[in-house]
Amino acid sequence: IRAYWMERAKSQESFQEKFEENTKFRTQEAISADAIESQFVKNESRYYVEVGQIDCPTGQIVIADPLAYLPSRQFSPVLAESVPAGTYSVDVSICRQQEIGLRMCTARLKIKDSKVVTYKRATATKETAIQLKDGGTLEGFPVDAGMICFCDAEVAEEYRKFIDKWYAENAGGNHYDDYFAAYFAESYEKMPAYQREGGDFIEWTNPDTENRMIMIASGFGDGFYNSYYGYDGDGELCEIIVPMVNPDIWGC
């Protein structure tokens, strides 16, 4: 019995060390382009899938928790560097490992097809950045509902109007349990090999405007996440990513 509990304690300690290392990986100032590129491969433990597309009428990108914060504008920063108006694809790298199960690793918004050579932590506009008590700002965004999203700033406003209208018509309801859960369940049924039961990602079309946004499960769930600009060899923005899990740390 003693040996069992000693082994279990070692396992828990190892997990905590890896978890802390993973947190440092996804919050550093700059991330290795090679480390991200290596996630978007397919082998026995790594995969990636295209989740869908987002519509960007303004080109101002919002990355936030779509369930806990986006409806109220709280902690939903607009990125300072915009992209040309248009439609963009979003994919996500995925790993499967015995210790952590199946996890979403890095969500990626593709702006151009050119190769990223540098990733730098993204900044928010002054008006939407998270303000600190000392007068400074905090880059990134919190997650309290286990989900992140990519959308345009105008589409975010449309989403808020939809949620307000939904609650007006569904008093006492819950916008995840009573509405979005069905979309995630449908996604799982279509691609069960790449998601946990219940679903980990969707492309959602606002029925009132036909504009689309993407929602993806946030790695290890709740916490604080950062987004990063990806620049090609000409210094042009070609990707925006949210790193969540580094499969190298977990032996994937």
Per-residue pLDDT, 228: 98
Q: Which residues of the chain fall below pLDDT 70?
A: 1-11
Residue with tokens 């790695």: 219
Q: What is the 3-state secondary structure (H, E, C) of 84-145?
A: CCEEEEEEEEEEEECCCEEEEEEEEEECCCCCCCEEEECCECCCCCEECCCCCEECCEEECC
pTM attached to this predicted model: 0.93
Model confidence over 164-190: pLDDT tens digits? 999 999 999 999 999 999 999 999 999
Per-residue pLDDT, 10: 56
Q: Where are the beta strands (DSSP E) in the chain?
A: 30-31, 46-56, 61-64, 86-97, 101-110, 118-121, 130-131, 137-138, 141-143, 147-152, 201-205, 212-217, 223-225, 228-231, 237-243
Per-residue pLDDT, 157: 98
- Tokens for 44, please give them: 């026995």
Say which amino acid occupies 141.
F
Question: What percentage of residues in the chain have a pLDDT greater than 90?
Answer: 89
Per-residue pLDDT, 83: 98
Per-residue pLDDT, 233: 97
Per-residue pLDDT, 14: 87
Per-residue pLDDT, 1: 56
Per-residue pLDDT, 106: 98
Per-residue pLDDT, 5: 45
